[in-house]
Chain A
Amino acid sequence: MLESALEALLIVLDPSRLPYMFLGISIGLVIGVLPGLSGTVGMAILLPFVFGMDPYAGMAMLIGMAAVLHTGDTFPSILIGVPGSSGSQATIMDGYPLAKQGQASRALGAAFFSSMIGGIIGGVVLFLSIPLAKPLVLAFGSPELFMLAILGLSMVGILAGNAPIKGLTVGLIGLLLGAVGAAPAVPEYRYTFDSIYLFNGLPLAVVALGLFALPEMIELLTKKQSISKTPHLKGGWLEGVKDSIKNKWLVFRSATIGSLLGFVPGVGGSVVDWIAYGITKQTSKGNENFGKGDIRGVIGPESANNAKEGGALIPTLLFSIPGSGTTAVLLGGLSLMGIQAGPRLVNEDLPITLSIVWTLVFANIFGAIACILLSKHISKLSLIQPTKLVPFLLVLLMVAAYQSSRSFGDIILFVGIGLVGLIMKRLDWPRAPLLIGFVLSTATERYLWISMERYGFTWLYRIEVIIIGLIIVALLFGGYLLKQKSANTNLQM
């Protein structure tokens, strides 16, 4: 295995193949920076070019793109409070408040460094799991996937802050919005009012952009204040890197969570992001400032969302089970290059698999370096007056929203959800639980239905289900205890 790894390293570093990796990295960063565009778009752009290509060069390009997507998507999340992709939604919670405090460079530095380490850990997990993957992936059935969805939903309570009932209400709104469209169990359309646009449900990108981005744009214009409330930027990217090193165990923990969740098919990037954020908040001492600009709220999700890519490649490459749109298109790319995903990739085609691992590692390093070098200049966006910046951002947001289903309904939905988000923001209702409920709605219903149909109620006694249930209880209870302890410590002081 080690000799194969060394052989694959030399293949990846071949001067004739390196440019393809850098091309993939460049496209991945651009796709990440542009809100509303996902890895699926990037894969779709590169796919026609890989036909008939040398498999190593082709994989370097595709994986290079996918690896850095969640590095580049941090720019809009932190600088303008707009999720660059589904995997950077949770980063907004603390990244954007940091930008408002004039610490955008610090937040970006911490995010990019954590993303790099997370991505490397994801690559290592992929490498180590090659001989172990089969029993692990097959251990997750519909009951376990349902419990993972409940784990994600439990984050609603954690993210509601001091308004748990409002948070719960908002989470339920999200669950109901997620039920719009085709039912998973039967051929029935729900809450569509005979509108063809709603048959496929509400697009996630439009909901996320509307909920977070549009209210921020209107507030910036109304208050006539730049994103940064301070006239100068404080801290630099190096301070962010030091923050990440200071919280090295958080980086490692979050990356591990990201890899483990990533390798479960059907758990999307946005779910991993929120779970990582919720767990970071619950397990961090002195977490009163989460949501107001705590750097750990950036480090946790950013480590996890890059690590997820390595984890997601395990079922994709080894079992042809894509966990997301990006990996589904990647499988298509493999076919175009004459590679069949499955056990062959662990035996005869092992060098290709290992070259993918090396590409993941190098792409994360180069992508992070490129972003860190750009961060100082791009951070200055947070100092621009809103009347000069916001009209262009609005155009960008409209472009982003429209790409979801390429229907005018996307724009109407974007503005509609945006106005609801504005009302919620003004009335101090939390918005993050809505997104979590929305993202997990279909998975929760689908896996519950499959579990009940297949197992009746006996699935509740499965050991894996009980373990995940205990983890949920431990997280919620442990977080409550930590909060009480912190409150008592403050009282004593």
Chain B
Amino acid sequence: MNKQLGSIIFSFVLLIVFSLMAIQATSFAKLAKFFPLYIAIGAIVITSISILLQLKEYRKERVQEERASKEENLATFKYILWILGFVVVIYLLGFVIATVIFLIAFQLLESKHKILPTIGSTAVVIGLLYGFTNLMNLYWPKGLLGLNIF
């Protein structure tokens, strides 16, 4: 899928979102509805114009542009999964344990580091987290298990 087509699809998605937001805005109290309603209506108009102009340009010429390769797209998807996995583990086990698991797994599997530097760097990060917890009174998500490491 090239950028032009992707942009048109994205615009259609935005059009749907703006329409839903405008419909939702009509249910708000009188003083609360005006701003989001008129902004959403304006956005619907602008997006519709944008879609028409983009479609016109898409029909006129297929621009030869640099597309992301299939490998790049797969790599993007892979790293998004890494981040989503990190978030899921934070939710389940808490931030500190999730950080340890994420850093060790990523460094061994993706960065191809050796085991000792991996453990060392992870230990440094955990040490810094501990320092920030005490010095700057920062908080971390505990996870479903409610484990409070620091």
A204 located at the interface, meaning its Cβ lies under 8 Å from any Cβ of chain B in the complex: no
A427 located at the interface, meaning its Cβ lies under 8 Å from any Cβ of chain B in the complex: yes
- A391 — which chain B residues lie within 8 A by C-beta? 102-103, 106-107, 110-111
- A183 — which chain B residues lie within 8 A by C-beta? 28-29, 31-32
Within 8 A of A (CB), among B52-83: 53, 68, 72, 75-76, 79-80, 83
- Binary per-residue interface labels of chain A (364-401) against chain B in the complex, 1 for a CB within 8 Å, 0 otherwise: 00000000000000000000010110011011001100
Partner of B3 from A45, A179, A221, A426 at Cβ < 8 Å: A426
Which residue of the partner chain B has the closest CB to A419?
Answer: B80
Which residue of the partner chain B has the closest CB to A418?
Answer: B83
B84 with A176: CB separation less than 8 A: no
Q: Determine which residue in B7, B35, B36, B91 has the highest number of CB atoms from chain A within 10 A of its CB, and name it.
A: B35
B97 located at the interface, meaning its Cβ lies under 8 Å from any Cβ of chain A in the complex: no
A169 with B84: CB separation less than 8 A: no
Q: A169-B43, A398-B86 are in contact. Are A429 and B7 (CB under 8 A)?
A: yes
Question: How many residues of chain B have a CB within 8 Å of chain A?
Answer: 59
A402 with B110: CB separation less than 8 A: no
Partner of A188 from B29, B39, B43, B87 at Cβ < 8 Å: B29
A165 with B46: CB separation less than 8 A: yes
B28 CB to closest chain A CB, in angstroms? 6
- B137 — which chain A residues lie within 8 A by C-beta? 44-45
- Binary per-residue interface labels of chain B (15-39) against chain A in the complex, 1 for a CB within 8 Å, 0 otherwise: 0001001001100111110011001
A387 with B80: CB separation less than 8 A: no
A190 located at the interface, meaning its Cβ lies under 8 Å from any Cβ of chain B in the complex: yes
B42 CB to closest chain A CB, in angstroms? 6
- B42 — which chain A residues lie within 8 A by C-beta? 172
A480 located at the interface, meaning its Cβ lies under 8 Å from any Cβ of chain B in the complex: no
Task: List residues of chain B with CB under 8 Å of any chain A CB.
Answer: 3, 6-7, 10-11, 14, 18, 21, 24-25, 28-32, 35-36, 39-40, 42-43, 46-47, 49-50, 53, 68, 72, 75-76, 79-80, 83-84, 86-87, 90-91, 95, 99, 102-103, 106-107, 110-113, 121, 125, 129, 132, 135-141
